Structures are given as structure tokens and as C-alpha cells.
Structure 1
Amino acid sequence: MRVPIFPLNSVVLPGGRVPLQLFEPRYIDMLTRCLKDDQGFVITLLRDGTEAGRVVSFYEIGTYVRIIDFEQLDNGLLGITVEGDTKVSITDSWQQADGLNMGEVVLLPVEASGDVPAVFHELPSVLRALFRHPVIHELGMSVDYDDARDVGWRLTELLPLDKQDKQQLMEMQDPLARLSRLQMLLEALGEG
């Protein structure tokens, strides 16, 4: 699949939602094409560079997202909300003349869902607390607090973790291994 790549300083996983503000011509053109062709794009975490920069490097694992809403914002910018669909591996990438990053991507296998083991009983409570925040609540995401995959994905997106930690958590394909790592990271945050 050949799709646009949108490097960000944050991660989104399947089912997650992110509001974005578009102002650069390359991304407004991308949005127009995506809407016209009923196609999404890939969000991947920036490795080096800035979100508005032309010279960037980014991680090879990202998430194919679909545009679920768009509006003209009060500040004159175009606002869109995207929802994560499927994790992907970027096998090749290049930059167009207008600065838009493009890539060939392969869909990664869908992670298995399963119950949150009792040893991780605190993690759904942490997630519930995060979902009470007005900004998170406003995104209208649904979450299954009993599903290890869902809980791990949302915590990876929402916790104030180092971006390399977020990327490592995202790249994991085992929901229980992700929960274990999240629990260790939360304990470290609590001690810090």
C-alpha cells in the first residue's frame, strides 16, 4: 500500500483518536487527496527533526489512520480528527517535491485480544482516571477496560512517557508484555 506519512511527536494506535491542526500546503493537499480517494495515511513517531520540518527521520512502525472529522478552526487552521486503524511497517519511504513524505507500507498482524490479568488490576483504573480528563473525554474514544490490548494501547498513547518508550510499547505485538512494561514504567513515574 502506498500512502502519505505524517511524522508526529506522539503515537496513535488502533482505536485511538488524535486531533490535528493542518496549515502547511503539503498536508492540506494530502487531506484533500485522502478525502477524495477515501484513503487514510500513516502517523509515525518522529525520530529526529520537527513536525513542521522538511528534514526529518521517523520510525518504521506506525499506524494507518482514517479521517473521521474535519472543521475550520477559530484560528483559521483546518482541524481534523483521525482514528487509528491498523499498525503498519513502513518498508520504503521518500519525500515528494512539495515535502510530503510518502511510503510503501505493510499491514502488521492484528494483536490478540484477551482479559486483563489480575496482576495488572491497577492499569484499567489508571486509564479510567485519564478518560475523565475533559480533553480525552471530548475525543469520544471507546475503550474496553477488560481487554488487555485496549488498555495497553490507550495507556501507551495517553501516559506522559518518553517518546522512545511509547515507540517500544507500540511496536510490541503481545498485549500482556505491553501491560507488564507499562506497569514498570508507571512504578518508575510514581517513584520519580
Structure 2
Amino acid sequence: MRIRDRRLLPRCELPVSAYCLGLLALENFATEMGQPQMTEHSHRFRVETPMFPLGSVLFPGATLPLNVFEERYRSLAQRCVGNEELFGVVLIEKGHEVGGGDVRSSVGCLARIFEHREFADGRWALLVRGETKIMIDEWLADDPYPVAITSDFPDDVNDGSIEQGMEVLKRLADLIAKAKSVGYEMPTIDPEAFAVGADAEELGYRIAQLTPSGPFDRQKILTRRSCAERLSCVEELIIGLEEVLDATRGNK
């Protein structure tokens, strides 16, 4: 039996000794019932999660199309579609998506399937949306797809602000306008319309998704533990792109 509610337990005001005994009792109960355990230090549930290592990074709130043709990942798709179950997406740092033997990142993102199609030859077309960040605590034996013990990877602090996000977004919009002026094909951004309905965290991930960057830069953003840090990381990327673009324009 898998625990699907990954929220933290409510804060407890019991004395430390009683609290520790309570944690121990919960772990013993979880073990007896075959349930995932909570770690002593993080107080977060550790769960067994089907995993899909990729050469790209999935952000919370972002969508990602997947063409599933390997037999083991067909099994993963069938399981997750049939059980309405989430799976983890994690970046392959070294190696390839096909065949195994790869080196994977330790931080990924849970993915929810919201559109799917199975073809007559057994392939699957999936459209997934990123949910929450996860830490990969331990890799298990393939079953037949990769499986890992994972836990939540929440931010350390809630320090994001719409104001910071809008500043970074406007800088990105200016960069895109400059790039389009010298022939690059990029989508035009209306910052106000782009930010509609988003809180600071959602806006930060939207900006990160739109910023031109490679998988390792995107992984660096994903691993940041606060909204402000992620926005600062994105802004550094934008500054670097501005310098490259200015140099390119100067040589023309």
C-alpha cells in the first residue's frame, strides 16, 4: 500500500520524549503494515516511487510530452494510468535515456498524467504536468522500470515575492525582444498577462520554464530551496544571455 498524501504531519506540542516515542510507534506501525516510513530528521514520508529518468528537467506546474516506446516504460505508463498514480522525473546527468547504466540527479519532480494515448504497437503518448519537487533517497532494483525511495523536497523558506518575479520577467521580456530584433524566433511576452493568476512560486517556475537554458542550468534552478534563490538563479542566466546577445549584435 502506498501513501499518496505527501503532506507533512501537523506540528505537535507534546514533550520531546513523548514526541519521539510517538515517532517510533508510527515507524513501527508503518513497518508492520508495509507502509512507507517517515525519516527521523526530516519528519517527511519516504515512499516508493516509479521513476522516469530523462535528458530534460520538469518544473512544478510545467507540462512535458513523453513518447514512451521502451518496454519497461510502457509498463510504467500502464501502471500509472491504470492506478491514477504519479511518477518521478529526474535528470540523467551522464549516459542515455535508452538502455540504462546512466547517472541520475538526486532531485526531481513528481509528474501527473493528464492526457494519454496507447497505440496498437504498445507505445504510449503521455502529456504530464509537474507537481512537487522530490529528493531521491535510494534507488531500488528495476521493476522493470526504475524505482526509488523518495521524499518531499520543500523550500526552506517562503521568501518569494511577486515584485521580484515581475522584475526578472520584464528583464526576460526585454531579452526576448532584443533576440527577435536580430532574427531569433522566440515568443513575445506580455509580462502582465503572463503573470495572471500566479503566486510568487508559480510565477518563478513559469519564468524558469520560459528562459532559454540547458538541462544542467535548469537542474540548478530546480535544486534551489527558496523562490528568491530560484529567481536569482534565473536572473543570472538572463544576464549571461544578454552578454552573449550584445556580443553577437556588436559583431554584426
Match of 1:122 among 165, 170, 175: 170
Q: Per the alignment, in what secondary structure is the counterpart of residue 239 of structure 2?
A: helix
Deviation at 1:52, TM superposition (A): 1.3
Give, as a single letter, the amino acid of the residue that structure 1 aligns with 2:243: E
1:104 aligns with 2:149: yes
1:88 aligns with 2:134: yes
User: Which residue pairs with 2:14 in the alignment?
Assistant: none
Give, as a single letter, the amino acid of the residue that structure 2 aligns with 1:120: V
Q: Deviations over 1:122-163 (max 9, x none)?
A: 15747998xx85xxxxxxxx9647633223212333333132
Confirm or deny: 8 A CA contact 1:61 1:88 kept in the other structure.
yes
Higher RCO, 1 vs 2 (CA within 8 Å, ≥6 residues apart)? 1
TM-score (norm 2): 0.63
Give, as a single letter, the amino acid of the residue that structure 2 aligns with 1:107: D
Structure 1 gaps, min length 5:
134-141
Confirm or deny: 8 A CA contact 1:124 1:146 kept in the other structure.
no
Partner Cα separation in structure 2 for residue 181 and residue 46 of structure 1? 21
1:24 aligns with 2:70: yes
User: Which residue pairs with 2:57 in the alignment?
Assistant: 11
Question: Which has the larger Rg?
Answer: 2
Aligned structure 1 segments of 4 or more residues deviating by more than 6 angstroms:
73-76, 126-129
Say which structure is richer in strand: 1
Confirm or deny: 8 A CA contact 1:48 1:57 kept in the other structure.
yes
Partner Cα separation in structure 1 for residue 132 and residue 78 of structure 2? 21
Match of 1:161 among 213, 216, 223: 213
Q: Which moved more, 1:104-113 or 1:43-52?
A: 104-113
Confirm or deny: 8 A CA contact 1:62 1:87 kept in the other structure.
yes
Partner Cα separation in structure 2 for residue 21 and residue 82 of structure 1? 11
Question: CA 1:175/1:124 → structure 2, altered by over 3 Å: closer, same or farther?
Answer: farther
Q: Per the alignment, in what secondary structure is the counterpart of residue 91 of structure 2?
A: strand
Partner Cα separation in structure 2 for residue 73 and residue 178 of structure 1? 39
Q: Per the alignment, in what secondary structure is the counterpart of residue 208 of structure 2?
A: helix
Query: How high is the sequence identity, in percent, across the aligned residues?
Result: 26
